[in-house]
Structure 1
Amino acid sequence: METLQAKNFNLKSTIESGQLFRYSSGSDGSYRVVAGDSIVNLRQEGDKLEFESSNDFDVESFLGLRHSYSGIVKSIRKDEKIAAAIKSHHGLRILEQGLWECTASFICSSFSNIPRIRRCIENIATAFGEPIGFEGLSAFSFPQPHQISSFQRLEKCGLGYRAKYLFETAMIFASGSGEFSQRNLRSLSYADAKEKFMELPGVGSKVADCILLFSCGFYEAFPVDVWVKRAMLGSYGMEINAFAAGRKPNERIIAGFARSYFGKYAGYAQQFIYHNSRTSGKLPSALVT
């Protein structure tokens, strides 16, 4: 095991906050994450993070440990409500995931729940990925876009109507044009990057924001589904209604309010609000962002 200093980091809150689906936990507080073609074992003791991986995996980058955490938290701590959520889950980080795997995962997430999403993603990996092993552990890599070569096999992975969207998106990514590379997307504004993602089959506003937040470094992205909408209206209903200026507060207006109120790290606020609502019993624990 290698060791990293991990001040202001909460492994449990980060892994279990709905950003990631391919993980398992141990009774000792450890986690096994499968990301791309890597198996990563993680365990936290105070400010120390122990880890080992099957290949040269950048744990610091993946877990968001290079983020200026104190400054981020200070910038979004606007009131007692968000301050309480931050206190409950201090150390929660935004992950930096691989773009294709994150895109595919959140296409699978549309109108679903976490247990089903996890099953679908594992089915896809088993059907199209490569066997990988590490320290007696075995798994399948998440397939590259070109490896998802059979729509009939994909249909058997339990995605339902999402199979068509994922297959078509895989073909777009596999074309090699580069327009959906992280490098290209990060050169765009948030609005332009979101518009680009919403051109993909099966990618609406919420899914696009999840991808931009969890894999592209657009921390102003604020994914809103029915559950985040409920949590936001419960905590900031008066402020959102004032921001809406007579319009009905829909998902777009709530996200706009959040970016205006919390600023350029609104996505961090979203994760604190969402995860705190789930773990406090205000939202069903199986739901996804």
Structure 2
Amino acid sequence: MATTAIPAGFRALPLPITQLSLAAVLKCGQSFRWSILPLPPSERHGLDNEYRLCLRDRVVCLRQSPDALFYRSVFPPGVPGEMETREAETLAWIRDYFQLEIDLVELYRQWGTADPVFDRLQARFEGIRMLRQDPFENLISFICSSNNNISRITKMVKSLCQHYSPALVTLPHPSGPTLPEETYHPFPPPSALARSEVSAKLRSLGFGYRADFIQRTAAMLVETHGVGWDAKKLMEPSEEWLMTLRSLSTSEARAELLKFVGVGRKVADCILLMSLDKKEVIPVDTHVYQIAIKYYGLNSPSKAANMTPRLYDDVSTKLAAVWGDYAGWAHSVLFTSDLKSFASHGLSSTPPAPPLTRDSAGSSLESTSPVSTPFETPLSTMKRKRATSTKKPTVRPTAFLEVADSLSALAADESGYSLAERVKRRRRKGGISSLDTFCPASG
């Protein structure tokens, strides 16, 4: 394969797409502020989109080929500093944000060896890794996620930026002047959201009850840690304090997060996983619970069990035993693969519709999930691999034989819905009971 030429104004970081797939990672509900802009045919040359994110002092622009990540920074006029230094800072941010020091290919190999279900998925859903986000942005974003869907969360987060953070820079669309320019705003600091009038304003913008949660959480941070601005770190004292949670144990960091208004166990676990370096944490919702029962041998008193703290821990412990130290990362891959919006991801052509199958209870299941499409690795090859493995899989022996068909019932027709909306739809179809709110990172 010919090497893609470096786009004008960009720099190149050699990086195979098996280590990072922007098309997957930036669309699966971890972060909600990336602008994804299609490139004109004249500039593609194997590149489809430009990805942009506004930081406090710059806009980072990314493009990707199969073997390289291309990056550049755009600063507001009059910002001092040498371009070499600025681009070195951007590269350091990229390495940190995408956690590029972690060998994702090796993790996939380990998960595929230990888990036949994951082995079935990995050929199509490569390059999906956890982001290392700013903790305050991550906290507020997932307060917005309560009873919500990815599209609405994205609108809310961008609305916060537009109303409570000054514009940094306006950039033309990469496809040319015929498309509108976009003005970029950084994520607002805690002090901007802590004022008492913020709640009413957010309600007028459609945030509903989440408006109070956001304002009160920001106020708690400001009241406890004070107001100020570190010009070098580009953050306030409370944001610096949130960063220190990375050095605490998982249980200690979780306890601190649970003190905030609008943060329950699952939202706290999303934050632990996505911004506080707790790579083993698995946010548990109804979807995770059902998969743990069907494919990983979790014993449950009933399919309609309430999500008690003990059951939450049982599900998390069961899956962590399968996936190991990076269980939260593996969980993200599994859920991305089950999103209907990823139905054609990794496929060169649309496969024929698979037949109806039946689950262990004898119910008919229509195979429309992205997981149900054929994979490059034939089933017979997977059987041989299991037979020669020295490590005994934790998964039920028959789980991977049926996963391609029966996972589909959980994902069909649910693209972009929150958990609450999914539960209502399933109830109308004779489905499951309500367990918990939706974590976008989990689909």
Q: Which residue of 2 aligns with 1:217?
A: 277
**Amino acid paired to 1:201:** V
Question: 1:164-193: CA deviations, max 9, x gaps?
Answer: 111111112223636773442122111221
Distance in 2 (CA, whole Å) between partners of 1:224 and 1:167 is: 26
Distance in 2 (CA, whole Å) between partners of 1:99 and 1:224 is: 20
Q: Which residue of 2 aligns with 1:240?
A: 298
Residue correspondence of structure 1 range 97-246 to structure 2 within 5 A: 97-136=133-172, 137-148=182-193, 149=195, 150-175=198-223, 177=225, 181-236=241-296, 239-241=297-299
Q: Report the secondary structure of 2:53's partner residue.
A: strand
**Amino acid paired to 1:4:** L
Question: 1:130-179: CA deviations, max 9, x gaps?
Answer: 10215434122211010112222222232111111111111122236367
Distance verdict in 2 for CA 1:160–1:6, change over 3 Å: same
Q: Report the secondary structure of 2:299's partner residue.
A: helix
Aligned residues: 285
Deviation, structure 1 residue 269: 1.1
The reply on whether 1:11 has 2:141 as its aligned counterpart is no
For residue 270 of structure 1, the aligned residue among 328, 331, 335 is 331
Distance verdict in 2 for CA 1:134–1:83, change over 3 Å: farther
Which stretch has the larger CA shift, 273-282 or 101-110?
A: 273-282
Calculate the TM-score normalised by the size of structure 1: 0.89
**Amino acid paired to 1:6:** L
Q: Report the secondary structure of 2:168's partner residue.
A: strand
Contact 2:200 2:211 (C-alpha < 8 Å) held by counterparts: no
**Amino acid paired to 2:95:** E
Distance in 2 (CA, whole Å) between partners of 1:46 and 1:32 is: 15
Distance in 2 (CA, whole Å) between partners of 1:171 and 1:85 is: 43
Q: Which residue of 1 aligns with 2:97?
A: 62
Contact 1:145 1:173 (C-alpha < 8 Å) held by counterparts: yes
The reply on whether 1:53 has 2:53 as its aligned counterpart is no
For residue 415 of structure 2, the aligned residue among 281, 285, 288 is 285
Distance verdict in 2 for CA 1:25–1:42, change over 3 Å: same
The reply on whether 1:94 has 2:130 as its aligned counterpart is yes
For residue 32 of structure 1, the aligned residue among 30, 51, 60 is 51
Contact 2:11 2:70 (C-alpha < 8 Å) held by counterparts: yes
Distance in 2 (CA, whole Å) between partners of 1:106 and 1:256 is: 23
Deviation, structure 1 residue 83: 1.5
Distance in 2 (CA, whole Å) between partners of 1:122 and 1:271 is: 24
Contact 1:76 1:266 (C-alpha < 8 Å) held by counterparts: no
Distance in 1 (CA, whole Å) between partners of 2:62 and 2:53 is: 11
Distance verdict in 2 for CA 1:230–1:50, change over 3 Å: same
Distance in 2 (CA, whole Å) between partners of 1:152 and 1:228 is: 35
The reply on whether 1:44 has 2:92 as its aligned counterpart is no
Distance in 2 (CA, whole Å) between partners of 1:76 and 1:205 is: 26
Distance in 2 (CA, whole Å) between partners of 1:11 and 1:120 is: 22
Distance in 1 (CA, whole Å) between partners of 2:253 and 2:24 is: 28
Distance in 2 (CA, whole Å) between partners of 1:54 and 1:176 is: 35
Distance verdict in 2 for CA 1:75–1:174, change over 3 Å: farther
The root-mean-square deviation of aligned C-alpha atoms, in Å, is 2.4
Distance verdict in 2 for CA 1:88–1:187, change over 3 Å: same
**Amino acid paired to 1:11:** L
Distance in 1 (CA, whole Å) between partners of 2:264 and 2:209 is: 15
For residue 118 of structure 2, the aligned residue among 78, 82, 85 is 82
Larger radius of gyration: 2
Calculate the TM-score normalised by the size of structure 2: 0.60
Distance in 2 (CA, whole Å) between partners of 1:134 and 1:188 is: 39
Q: Report the secondary structure of 2:133's partner residue.
A: coil
Which stretch has the larger CA shift, 69-78 or 265-274?
A: 69-78
Q: Report the secondary structure of 1:208's partner residue.
A: helix
Contact 1:39 1:134 (C-alpha < 8 Å) held by counterparts: no
Distance in 1 (CA, whole Å) between partners of 2:321 and 2:115 is: 14
Q: Report the secondary structure of 2:262's partner residue.
A: coil
Question: 1:16-63: CA deviations, max 9, x gaps?
Answer: 121011123233422433344342221111110111223554122112
Which stretch has the larger CA shift, 30-39 or 186-195?
A: 30-39
Distance in 2 (CA, whole Å) between partners of 1:6 and 1:173 is: 38
Q: Report the secondary structure of 2:295's partner residue.
A: helix
Contact 1:30 1:41 (C-alpha < 8 Å) held by counterparts: no
